[in-house]
């Protein structure tokens, strides 16, 4: 199995001005050379990111996003000596690869609706009133770009007729931010991220703001900045878990899964879109001819609705299922409009039906798509 994405935290450990040494005395590092691999002792965890470590004979204060604990022995590689020491944490690559995959799967399974929560929180966090003085440090343009891209990622009345919404969603969310998905998987997330185009995706913007916070932490002690940094790390991990899950889902079963928020006047719902290429052969040929798309819609006012569509070239058949007859009666008048819109897109509609099914989310056809993410499913790496 290829290496999976690096986790959202960096494996770099950087020296910062150390209060451990006497500022009146000149401080000398022990003899070190670039690319040297050395053992270090974690003496104390001072804060969320600050650690005191013993490097050979010198006690130094470092900045690290990896949650080390006091008493740990770690192996590091010297990446840089000037103007400050940069160390890279060394791990067993096979164990790291397996633990990363397992970590992302567990993260998703522990809260399958984390992306819904993320969209709710981002809208509240990234406004000028909530950020206060941080706006000037993060950049007003970055904050506004995040607000704008959040709006474009939600299904709403304004973009309901956008034929390219799903395609744009995949790009703007950040699924394709890494150049070549397999290449990104092999080389690691941070190395392959196209940060030059970071303003075009939610993930890129969050990475850009996170980098600004890291620089700010080196010169200013702002509790609000540290709190926001923790939130961004969690947010980026949620996004990455969906990237990795889609990579695994596609590699193992030829399927994709996208969660998209639906904006209503008073609240937010969630649409889960599952796509399967049913005629994909071992070489991936012919996969565009026959597809199956399932929508799982979760809306407070209407309840759960599933839409199961089968597409063979320009022929389409679609069955909608809901849990009670009142909702079916509400949906039926819209089917004629849906049929006409499909015809406008040059599809031949073989069937278009709506039926009542009180067990819609437990049927075999739903489980076929959800199997990889089931709470009780054995981990692939177990």
Query: 248 to each of 26, 254, 264, 274, how far by Cα in Å?
Result: 52, 9, 32, 14
Write the secondary structure of the chain as one string of H (helix), E (strand) and C (coil).
CCCCCCCCCCCEEEEECCCCCCCCCCCCCCCCCCCCEEEEEEEEECCCCEEEEEECCEEEEEEECCCCCCCCEEEEEEEECCCCCEEEECCCHHHHHHHHHHHHHHHHHHCCCHHHHHHHHHHHHCCHHHHCCHHHHHCHHHHHHHHHHHHHCCECCCCCCCCCHHHHHHHHHCCCCECCHHHHHHHCHHHHECHHHHHHCHHHHHHHHHHHHHHHHHHCCCHHHHHHHHHHHHHHHHHHHHHHHHHHHHHHHCEEEEEEEEECCCCEEEEEEEEEECCCCCCCCCCCCEEEEEEEEEECCCEEEEEEEEEECCEEEEEEEECCHHHHHHHHHHHHHHHHHHHHCCCEEEEEEEEECCCCCCCHHHHHHHHHHCCCCCCCCC
Instruction: Check pLDDT > 50 for residue 379.
Output: no
pLDDT at residue number 350: 95
Which domains are delineated in the chain? 12-91 (2.40.50), 92-244 (no CATH), 264-382 (3.30.750)
Provide the pLDDT for residue 300: 65
Q: pLDDT value at position 91? A: 67
Identity of the highest mean pLDDT range in 17-21, 85-89, 110-114, 318-322: 318-322
Maximum average pLDDT range among 141-150, 198-207, 253-262: 141-150
Q: pLDDT, tens digit, for every residue of 57-97?
A: 888 888 887 878 888 888 888 888 777 778 888 765 545 55
Q: What band does 289 get if pLDDT is binned at 50, 70 and 90?
A: confident
pTM above 0.85, yes or no: no
Q: Which range has the top average pLDDT, 51-60, 127-136, 168-177, 328-337?
A: 328-337
- Give the residue from 356, 359, 295 showing the smallest Cα distance to 330: 356
Best-predicted range by mean pLDDT among 96-100, 171-175, 245-249?
A: 171-175
* pLDDT the model gives residue 65: 77
């Amino acid at each position: 199995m290829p290496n999976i994405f690096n986790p959202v935290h960096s494996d770099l450990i950087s020296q910062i001005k150390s209060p451990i040494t006497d500022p009146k005395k000149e401080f000398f590092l022990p003899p070190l050379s670039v690319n040297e691999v050395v053992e270090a002792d974690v003496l104390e965890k001072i804060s969320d990111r600050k650690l005191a470590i013993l490097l050979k004979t010198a006690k130094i204060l470092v900045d690290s996003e990896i949650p080390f604990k006091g008493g740990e022995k770690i192996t590091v590689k010297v990446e840089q000596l000037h103007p400050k020491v940069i160390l890279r944490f060394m791990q067993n690559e096979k164990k790291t690869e397996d633990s990363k995959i397992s970590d992302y799967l567990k993260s998703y399974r522990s809260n399958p609706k984390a992306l819904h929560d993320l969209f709710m929180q981002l809208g509240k966090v990234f406004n000028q009133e909530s950020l206060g003085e941080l706006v000037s440090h993060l950049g007003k343009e970055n904050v506004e770009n995040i607000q704008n891209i959040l709006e474009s990622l939600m299904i709403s009345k304004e973009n309901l007729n956008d034929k390219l919404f799903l395609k744009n969603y995949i790009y703007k969310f950040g699924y394709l931010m890494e150049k070549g998905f397999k290449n990104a998987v092999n080389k690691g997330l941070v190395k392959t991220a196209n940060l030059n185009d970071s303003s075009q995706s939610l993930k890129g913007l969050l990475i850009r703001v996170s980098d600004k916070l890291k620089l700010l932490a080196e010169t200013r002690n702002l509790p609000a900045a540290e709190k926001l940094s923790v939130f961004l790390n969690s947010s980026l991990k949620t996004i990455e878990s969906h990237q990795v899950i889609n990579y695994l889902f596609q590699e193992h079963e030829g399927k994709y899964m996208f969660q998209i928020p639906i904006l209503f006047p008073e609240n937010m719902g969630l649409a889960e879109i599952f796509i399967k290429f049913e005629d994909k052969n071992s070489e991936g040929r012919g996969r565009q001819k026959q597809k199956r798309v399932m929508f799982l819609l979760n809306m407070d006012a209407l309840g759960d609705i599933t839409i199961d569509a089968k597409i063979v070239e320009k022929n389409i058949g679609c069955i909608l299922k809901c849990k009670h007859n009142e909702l079916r009666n509400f949906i039926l008048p819209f089917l004629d409009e849906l049929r006409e819109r499909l015809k406008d897109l040059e599809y031949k509609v073989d069937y278009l039906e709506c039926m009542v099914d009180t067990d819609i989310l437990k049927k075999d056809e739903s489980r076929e798509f959800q199997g990889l993410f089931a709470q009780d499913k054995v981990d692939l790496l177990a």
